[in-house]
Amino acid sequence: MTSDSDEPSKVKLKQQQYESSTDEYEVLDMLQLSGKASVQKVESTSHQGLLKDISKLLGCSSVPREGHFKHLITYASGIFLFYLLYGIIQEKLLRGDYAGDHFTFSQALVFVQCVVNAMFSKAIMSYTKPEPDKTPKTLYALCALCYMGAMVASNHALIYVSYPKQVIGKACKPIPVMILGVIFAHKRYPVVKYLFVLMIVTGVAGFIYKDSKAVDSGDHLFSIGFGEMLLLLSLSLDGFTGVTQERMRAVHSTNHHHMMYNINLWSCFALGIGLVTSGQGIAFLRFVIAHPHVLWYLSLFSLTSAFGQHYIFLTVVTFGPLTCSVITTTRKFFTVLFSVIIFQNPMTSRQWLSTFLVFAGLGLDSIYGRSLKPKEKKQTQSK
């Protein structure tokens, strides 16, 4: 029998387990590294058998109450809805035809998105009133540069590659995060994590592999163009973003809303300077004046991003980052599926198989590929 005084230590231990995991998506990185997770005490009842099975599938740390389970469905539906719309609007915006013209203003797009995200997180902070932030501004500025660069490169890549290829390419994010985590954060990972990462890499390689007909026409077996190079740059910057966020969490215990607000705010400053000095800001305004309906896409794009982040936050603090990771991984697959159907992006049987391999690796990694706990590290080193 355990006393009530033991419960806080159990909650803290569970939070530490969540903090040690590595996730594949930018927003979840910020929220997960804040260390927020709740552990629910639930009495088992006969009518909760179905809830138990579903919660296990989603990676919940415990079986949610019936009312709590409705929250899980609501949050998951919010993530699916807003990020599916986000992906569709993103592809429509960046790959659409505007009377022979094309939207090429990735900096301006990320600037608008960061402004809305900063306003949204500021509004949440005015309501929740978190403790004063002690994180150095220089660390926020460094993280913002990496975060902003990754987003700009990822969005700009859509001008040159299809949305399915962008999603599959970005699925390689665990690789730079893991490498930089080992080098700079001295993390240790279980052997199975390397196996799951190998599954992801194999899937990505199979996806971009060119058939013999394409090779005969002059292409290489693995075609790496400017769009693919932008994705590689985005992945590298994602890795550095993860390292700086890990430092915020470990050294300064940065609150997730402070992190979201300050990173987006510093990104706005940097992007604003870039828009003025490069002249892209003026060109963007001229494009909007010539095609005013693009404002509708920009508004929807930013709002779906902000509300998607909100539901990710609710899922993380209520059910933990593991559950959220399973949901977001599943959502990404359906985003690819919708992109193929709506925008008629053709995919071969090999590419579909590679897609399944990538998402299988992501799903398994989110469940079983967390970094080793201190006790496990000592056991590994002793061997």
- The whole-number pLDDT of residue 61 equals 46
pLDDT at position 152 over 60: yes
Which of 88-97, 123-132, 178-187 comes out lowest in average pLDDT? 178-187
Looking at every residue in the chain, the average pLDDT score rounds to 75
Q: What is the DSSP letter of 221?
A: S
pLDDT at position 111 over 90: yes
Quote the tokens at residue 381: 């080193």
pLDDT at position 370 over 80: no
High-pLDDT (> 90) share of the chain, %: 20
Contact 68, 46 (CB under 8 A): no
- The whole-number pLDDT of residue 317 equals 65
- The whole-number pLDDT of residue 271 equals 94
Mean pLDDT of 342-357: 81
- The whole-number pLDDT of residue 36 equals 43
Quote the tokens at residue 118: 């900063």
- The whole-number pLDDT of residue 373 equals 55
Quote the tokens at residue 296: 């509708």
- The whole-number pLDDT of residue 19 equals 38
Domain boundaries, the chain: 66-210+230-369
- The whole-number pLDDT of residue 273 equals 94
Q: Is the dihedral of CA 148, 152, 153, 158 positive or negative?
A: positive
Mean pLDDT of 137-154: 92
User: Which range among 91-105, 290-304, 316-330, 334-348 has the greatest average pLDDT?
Assistant: 290-304
**What pairs with residue 98 in β-bridges?**
101
Find the angle CA(188)-CA(191)-CA(195) to the nearest 5 degrees: 125
Mean pLDDT of 341-358: 81
- The whole-number pLDDT of residue 366 equals 72
Mean pLDDT of 228-253: 84
Higher pLDDT, 192 or 333: 192
- The whole-number pLDDT of residue 288 equals 93
The confidence band for 214, taking pLDDT boundaries of 50, 70 and 90, is very low
pLDDT at position 282 over 50: yes
The reply to whether the predicted model has a pTM over 0.85 is no
Mean pLDDT of 28-33: 50
pLDDT at position 285 over 70: yes
- The whole-number pLDDT of residue 140 equals 92
- The whole-number pLDDT of residue 207 equals 77
pLDDT at position 347 over 90: no
d(CA 194, CA 197): 5
d(CA 357, CA 202): 8
- The whole-number pLDDT of residue 29 equals 52
Higher pLDDT, 201 or 232: 232
Mean pLDDT of 65-87: 83
- The whole-number pLDDT of residue 181 equals 72
The confidence band for 371, taking pLDDT boundaries of 50, 70 and 90, is low
Mean pLDDT of 191-195: 85
Pick from 141, 178, 168: nearest CA to 20: 178
Contact 335, 166 (CB under 8 A): no
- The whole-number pLDDT of residue 21 equals 38
The confidence band for 218, taking pLDDT boundaries of 50, 70 and 90, is very low
Which of 123-127, 169-173, 236-240, 296-300 comes out lowest in average pLDDT? 169-173
Contact 244, 139 (CB under 8 A): yes
- The whole-number pLDDT of residue 46 equals 37
**Residue appearing with tokens 């639930």:** 42
Mean pLDDT of 42-51: 43
- The whole-number pLDDT of residue 302 equals 92
Higher pLDDT, 221 or 95: 95
